[in-house]
Structure 1
Amino acid sequence: MKPTRSVDRRADRSWSENAVRLIEADGLRSADTHLLRVELPDWSRWTDEAGNARGVDLYLKDESTHPTGSLKHRLARSLFLYAICNGWIGPDTTVIEASSGSTAVSEAYFAKLIGVPFVAVMTASTSPAKTALIERQGGRCHFVQRAGDVYDEAQRLEAELGGHFIDQFTMAERATDWRGNNNIAESIFAQLAQEDHPVPTWIVVGAGTGGTSATLGRYLRYRRHPTWLCVVDPENSVFLPAFESGDGTLTADTGSRIEGIGRPRVEPSFVSQVIDRMVGVPDEASIATARVVSERLGRRIGASTGTNLWAAFGLVAEMVEQRHAGSVVTLLCDSGDRYETTYFDDGWLASNEFDLAPARGVLDAFFDTGAWSV
């Protein structure tokens, strides 16, 4: 009889258990993000036939207050826990990601926390402020020229380095527990509990990986909330055309100019079936909204937040016109300080031939009268 073979890998568990402990401890040190109420003009309030005060409220979930400064901090934590618990990341694993910036910033943070190398594959056009943040966390930036090349290059580096391609675009929708466990959807509803409209009429989000919209859409259905999910899409992204046509094979030759959202292909984590409505937002509208709202808030917000708010303003105006009282919630994805040399630089706008005046006119009319003339 041949001898019995035994391969014992129990020693691998001690490293992974400690890595999970470090990430969980980091989460316990971090408070939840604020839900900010955005003050709307008087036209957002009215009195119904019974003499009751009614109105529409707008909220911003401020994800810029995470330790790494963006919504992607939640995703990065989930992706690392998912990969560690699946045994894909060990003490000597180089973690590789294809990212336009914010996800890589957050992933570099968690890689440093558990002591593994990190490489971010991104387009050369990514803002210098984001690459500096990645490098400050000990990550290495690896550049490609075309947005569509990041996937193949990340896979090539995975093979070359014997690492793990963490692949946010595939894993985002499955790494987060959409039923609860303090995900962003559960957090929003908990924070709205004592508001006039604790169950929002609309939640508005952008799609980069598709993970956030998938989490929110599934949660709304699971909890049976009568809340609609609106997903916004910038120019040069194929999510909206795919949603409209049902064709998940669509691709684009150029990438989105609004960092963090929009993709040149339909990502595996984009679950269109949980979305109730999509709105395409011109890049000039995204940037103009970021600038106008930054002036009103007294703090800079990024252009992806501008994309969210452009659609949210349209929904608020629609609800006011229909005398539909309720609330709208959207996300403040990251700080506009990361885009000082791009979206907030007049020279950069001129070199890219952006004219913000028409979009500013729409926004001025909205704040003055509540009209949405798009």
Structure 2
Amino acid sequence: LWRRRAIAKLWEERRHMGRTPMFKFTSPGYENVDFVFKNESASRTGSLKHRYSWALIMWAIVDGKIGENTTVYEASSGNTAASEAYMCRLIGVKFIAIVPNSIEQVKVEHIQSYGGDIIKTDLGDRLIRAKQEAIRNNGFFMNQFANSDKAEEYHESGNYPLESVNLMHEVLAQIREDLNQTIEEPNYFVHSAGTGGTISSIGRYVKKYGLRTEVVLADTQFSVYYDYVMNGRFTNESGRDVWVIPGMAGIGFGVMGPVKHGVTSSLLRAVIDRAIKIPDIASTAAMAVLKRLGINGGTSTGANFIAALHLAATHDKASLFNNNSQRLIIATILGDTGDYYESSYYNRTWISENFNVHGGLAVYDCWIKVYR
């Protein structure tokens, strides 16, 4: 009876989710390129993790992982924890987030606003600590890093009169409803990866339906995902020794051991076509430039935009798959609001102190001039 009621509440939430908005942006010098941003910060919990957490919680309930008295544990940088806390409160179970010591206070407060409790630990110890806490307290460790593929089927709604919440599905639907858009598929879909769940779900969708969109990973400077995707490396060795702080909060992979799909990561290299390595300080500068242009995004948005600019600059226009149009469409994600990073990646004092090893404000300001 409890499970039936919990699932009904999740379907009611699904009805209210709808689509997140999408907007086009044209950058100076790239007048023939549409940068299409899917604004996931407009979701109920403020990030792209809302739809993802809905699917994870639905999977865990259906498969009997979560019951009426279960405490759910999750390892997170903040956004997934907030969305899962929301879903757990919705179905009436306790939620505890294991987060890095470096987490922004605003993210802590966001998680707590949905009834979640917080345990802080070292960045690289989150998976171990979450598993330990779940075992010790007879709870359930959701493990978003391992289980995103388990939730994949729950993007679809089956007999329910609701469309898929797969992000690529929504992007295609919204592009095709744009009367001013003559191309029905993006040439590229660009996104960064933390767990790898979102970009893998996009890649699976593209491959499943035979789309011509190229799926491109925007990887952070000291993350091992680039080498994993392009060369199959770091499956048996950790990237801890090559990781340099502060990194880009919530994205990249390095300190939590080897990249093992279904264990420590959900990134499926088979559905990613290309990866681009992005300097962290360049991504940080891109956040500031975008904000001045009215796009208030977080760390992943900065990295995504740099990768998108690179693709626009290097794309062979003769290879456009729609010969009736000279426009290039590069779709990407505004993953969360920049409000979470006012004390960090938008703060010049913080940048000076934390990116000193990367050249500090001199290099940061240089990147901003390049963008302008």
TM-score, normalised to structure 2's length? 0.87
**Take 1:57 and 1:112, find their aligned partners in 2: how far apart are those partners?**
39
**Take 2:129 and 2:155, find their aligned partners in 1: how far apart are those partners?**
34
**Take 1:126 and 1:108, find their aligned partners in 2: how far apart are those partners?**
16
Matched, 1:308 2:304: yes
- Which range moves more in the overlay, 169-178 or 58-67? 169-178
Matched to 2:187, the amino acid is T
- Aligned runs of 1:23-172 on 2, under 5 Å? 23-41=10-28, 43-45=29-31, 55-145=32-122, 147-172=123-148
Unmatched tracts of structure 1, length 5 or more: 1-13, 46-54, 368-374
Distance apart, 1:321 and its partner CA: 6.9
Picking from 187, 198, 205, the partner of 1:201 is 187
**Take 2:246 and 2:186, find their aligned partners in 1: how far apart are those partners?**
29
| C-alpha contact 1:98 1:154 (8 A) present in aligned 2 | yes
| C-alpha contact 1:238 1:250 (8 A) present in aligned 2 | no
Percent identity among equivalent residues?
32
Hey, what does 2:197 align to over in structure 1? 211
TM-score, normalised to structure 1's length? 0.86
Question: What does the per-residue CA deviation read over 1:43-92, in whole Å, with 9 as the maximum and x for residues that have no partner?
Answer: 434xxxxxxxxx32110000000011001111111110000000010110
**Take 1:207 and 1:322, find their aligned partners in 2: how far apart are those partners?**
30
**Take 1:349 and 1:366, find their aligned partners in 2: how far apart are those partners?**
18
Hey, what does 1:192 align to over in structure 2? 175
**Take 1:196 and 1:320, find their aligned partners in 2: how far apart are those partners?**
19
Matched to 2:334, the amino acid is L
Distance apart, 1:249 and its partner CA: 2.1
Q: Give the paired residue count.
A: 342
Unmatched tracts of structure 2, length 5 or more: 157-163, 321-325
- Aligned runs of 1:279-318 on 2, under 5 Å? 279-297=276-294, 299-318=295-314
| C-alpha contact 2:40 2:336 (8 A) present in aligned 1 | yes
Distance apart, 1:268 and its partner CA: 3.5
Distance apart, 1:357 and its partner CA: 4.7
Matched to 2:293, the amino acid is R
Hey, what does 1:330 align to over in structure 2? 332
Q: CA 1:345/1:270 → structure 2, altered by over 3 Å: closer, same or farther?
A: same
Distance apart, 1:136 and its partner CA: 1.3
User: Counterpart of 1:192 in 2: which secondary structure?
Assistant: helix
| C-alpha contact 1:173 1:270 (8 A) present in aligned 2 | no
Matched to 1:309, the amino acid is F
| C-alpha contact 2:56 2:150 (8 A) present in aligned 1 | no
**Take 2:60 and 2:117, find their aligned partners in 1: how far apart are those partners?**
20
- Aligned runs of 1:259-278 on 2, under 5 Å? 259-264=249-254, 265=257, 266=259, 267-278=264-275
**Take 2:350 and 2:98, find their aligned partners in 1: how far apart are those partners?**
24
Question: What does the per-residue CA deviation read over 1:24-58, in whole Å, with 9 as the maximum and x for residues that have no partner?
Answer: 111211231111101233x434xxxxxxxxx3211
Distance apart, 1:213 and its partner CA: 1.4
For the pair shown, the structure with the greater C-alpha radius of gyration is 1
Hey, what does 1:351 align to over in structure 2? 353
**Take 1:105 and 1:271, find their aligned partners in 2: how far apart are those partners?**
24
Question: What does the per-residue CA deviation read over 1:173-231, in whole Å, with 9 as the maximum and x for residues that have no partner?
Answer: 23123885231010010011132222111000111111111111111111111110000
- Which range moves more in the overlay, 191-200 or 105-114? 191-200
**Take 1:322 and 1:291, find their aligned partners in 2: how far apart are those partners?**
33
Aligned residues: CA RMSD: 2.0
